[in-house]
Copies of this chain bind each other. A is one copy, B any other.
Amino acid sequence: MQSDDAIPDVVIKRLTIYARALYQLHASGAATVSSSELAAATGSTAAQIRRDFSYFGGFGTQGKGYEVGRLLEEVKRILNLNEQWGMVLIGAGSLGGAVARYNRFAENGFVICRIYDRNPERIGNRLDGVTIEDVATLRETVSREQILIAILTVPASAAQWAANLAISAGVKAFLNYAPASILAPPDVRVHDIDPVAALQSLTYYLSPGRSDEVEPSSRTTA
A65-73, A116-124, A129-137, A142-150: which lies at the interface: A142-150
- Set B15, B94, B182, B214: member contacting A146, Cβ < 8 A: B214
B95–A148 contact, CB under 8 A?
no
A173–B98 contact, CB under 8 A?
no
Q: Say how many copies of this protein the assembly contains.
A: 2
* B-facing residues in A82-129 (Cβ within 8 Å): 82-87, 94-95, 98-99, 101-102, 104-105, 108, 110, 113
Report A4 CB to chain B, min CB distance, Å: 12
B83–A145 contact, CB under 8 A?
no
Residues of B within 8 A of A212 (CB): 84
A172–B85 contact, CB under 8 A?
no
A198–B208 contact, CB under 8 A?
no
Residues of B within 8 A of A193 (CB): 193, 195, 198
B16–A173 contact, CB under 8 A?
no
A16–B201 contact, CB under 8 A?
yes
Report A42 CB to chain B, min CB distance, Å: 5
* B-facing residues in A149-199 (Cβ within 8 Å): 149, 156, 172-175, 179-183, 185-187, 189, 191, 193-199
Q: Is residue A46 contacting chain B, with contact meaning CB distance below 8 A?
A: no
Residues of B within 8 A of A110 (CB): 196, 199
Query: A12 to B202, alpha carbons, bound, how many Å?
Result: 9
Q: Is residue A61 contacting chain B, with contact meaning CB distance below 8 A?
A: no
Q: Is residue A30 contacting chain B, with contact meaning CB distance below 8 A?
A: no
A173–B20 contact, CB under 8 A?
no
A204–B79 contact, CB under 8 A?
yes
Q: Is residue A25 contacting chain B, with contact meaning CB distance below 8 A?
A: no
Report A212 CB to chain B, min CB distance, Å: 8
**A-B pairs with beta carbons under 8 Å apart, 22 shown:** A12-B201, A12-B204, A13-B197, A15-B201, A16-B201, A24-B156, A41-B181, A79-B201, A79-B204, A80-B206, A83-B208, A84-B212, A85-B199, A105-B199, A110-B196, A146-B214, A147-B211, A149-B199, A172-B205, A175-B202, A185-B222, A186-B222
Known: A20-B180, A146-B214, A172-B205. 4 other contacts (CB 8 A): A21-B181, A79-B204, A105-B195, A149-B202
